[in-house]
Structure 1
């Protein structure tokens, strides 16, 4: 596949209009806003910086690993192991469910855009894979490498929550998008680090975490069952 086609595929995967279901997830912004932890663009900036270095880095690591595995061909057991290891690095059941829900949506869209035996092998091994793993497989099928998959995963970890800030609190979209562009250097570094470990055994992959995000996810899940919320997570 040509570099142009591969690059276009990664842009499509990272596009908010890609029908993977990410638009219904706030990444913790809705719960944080309801608690008064995010009130303005300055608060959102701090939240997104932390989210990128934690959840974003973790998603980038597994997207890169999945892209590496898809490119070289792996047995079904490897996909199961990769999925289990991401489960182990995601303490919050609510976050695990959100990841699998977005994975399911991305699978549906990916099957239409980039049908591939590799994707079917992943689904045969683990029918509801995590979103970063699906993302990495689709990036590889489309001709992109681990670093590009990591970039897409890291970007999605902050672009959805930034949009949620605009929708929930009526923030200035220009100011919010400026905050996202400020993350470029961090995103580059995270993608480089994820690509460097992409070939490691699943159990040896890095495990960045953020307990505060886990707690926000569990609180949001509980409140979502009690009252109507705009976002699923």
Structure 2
């Protein structure tokens, strides 16, 4: 199935479930770098939150969305997991990615046996990277690569946005407006990610985006050493 096709109504319901912050995949305990950015003073109000989320969407969000799309398209999860490792220079973020992957895998398998997810669990007892699990779970639910990319892109901004709301006490209506204005960019990033995943099916994982956000890596290493923090990462 092409990444530009749309799944049926059952698949759309699965997409909503995967994108729901209440899905017990552990994301609520992580700020996506927002906590460290707030402490550093780089994120402190609505406009700086919007800038942070936009930057995150176009860097780590794009990379995660492409990996998820490739996994949803049936590409080798072992190759994709290595590609995710190579695109995550921070050891703290690599550990976080695998922890979130393990938690998402557990949640996705809770509805019953899923051969592809069961194989992932057996092959990666410590957890594969989260986007690989997301794409595999999306495919098991009948979602397309584009839909998997959309879920990953949404997750890249929604979790950090919620963290900023808690950390800064932002007006929730202002934050909702920020996310609404980001929606067209989110769609564009998801489409770009799905196209890159389709290219990677022929040209190999080097065709996948490797967009980086060095400050997120630096902040993650700093955050990892904090004795007192609200979020796990």
What TM-score, normalized by structure 1, do the two folds share? 0.92
**What is the RMSD computed on CA atoms of the aligned residues?**
1.3
Output the CA distance in 2 between the equivalents of 1:9 and 1:114. Answer: 14
Q: How much has 1:9 moved relative to structure 2? A: 0.5
1:28 alignment partner in structure 2 = 33
Output the CA distance in 2 between the equivalents of 1:29 and 1:116. Answer: 34
2:4 alignment partner in structure 1 = none
Question: Between Structure 1 and Structure 2, how many residues are aligned?
Answer: 222
1:136 alignment partner in structure 2 = 135
Deviations 1:17-42 (A, max 9, x none): 00000001001110111111111111
1:215 alignment partner in structure 2 = 218
2:3 alignment partner in structure 1 = none
1:156 alignment partner in structure 2 = 155
Q: How much has 1:114 moved relative to structure 2? A: 5.6
Give ranges in structure 1 of 5+ residues lacking alignment. Answer: none
Give ranges in structure 2 of 5+ residues lacking alignment. Answer: 1-6
Q: How much has 1:202 moved relative to structure 2? A: 2.3
2:229 alignment partner in structure 1 = 229
Aligned ranges 1:58-69 → 2 under 5 Å: 58-69=63-74
Aligned ranges 1:51-90 → 2 under 5 Å: 51-69=56-74, 78-90=76-88
Output the CA distance in 2 between the equivalents of 1:94 and 1:113. Answer: 30
Determine which of 195, 199, 202 is the counterpart of 2:205: 202
Output the CA distance in 1 between the equivalents of 2:112 and 2:77. Answer: 19
What TM-score, normalized by structure 2, do the two folds share? 0.92
User: Does the 8 A contact of 2:197 with 2:207 survive in 1?
Assistant: no
User: Does the 8 A contact of 1:57 with 1:190 survive in 2?
Assistant: yes
Alignment partner of 2:78: what SS?
A: helix
Judging changes above 3 Å, is the alpha-carbon distance between structure 1 residues 114 and 51 closer, same or farther for their aligned structure 2 residues? farther
1:42 alignment partner in structure 2 = 47
